[in-house]
Amino acid sequence: MSLRSQVISLYKTLLYLGREYPSGYDFFRKRLHNAFLKNKDVKDPDKIEKMIAHGQYIVRELEALYKLKKYRTLKRRYYN
């Protein structure tokens, strides 16, 4: 997979995960867009790979955040 397609895939994944962000989708989308625009001129493949790895870390953190939110909601619903 080329670096460009990895970056696009990461962007789409983050946009999808941003739908349930606690501060709202618009807030998340603006911040995500600005972060990608800030790094649009980077040409070094090693640096791009590091940024992709960091983005994948953010994806895992968001998934953990959503799972924790779901767990807490279920716990509140069924237990005192």
pLDDT in tens, 39-78: 999 999 999 999 999 999 999 999 999 999 999 999 999 9
Residue among 24, 37, 28, 25 nearest 58 (CA): 28
Question: At residue 79, does pLDDT exceed 90?
Answer: no
Domain map (residue ranges) of the chain: 3-78
CA dihedral angle for residue 30, residue 65, residue 52, residue 24, rounded to 10 degrees? -10
4-36 pLDDT, tens digit per residue, is 999 999 999 999 999 988 889 999 999 999 999
Q: Using CA atoms, how far apart are residues 12 and 34, in angstroms rounded to an integer?
A: 14
pTM listed for this prediction: 0.85
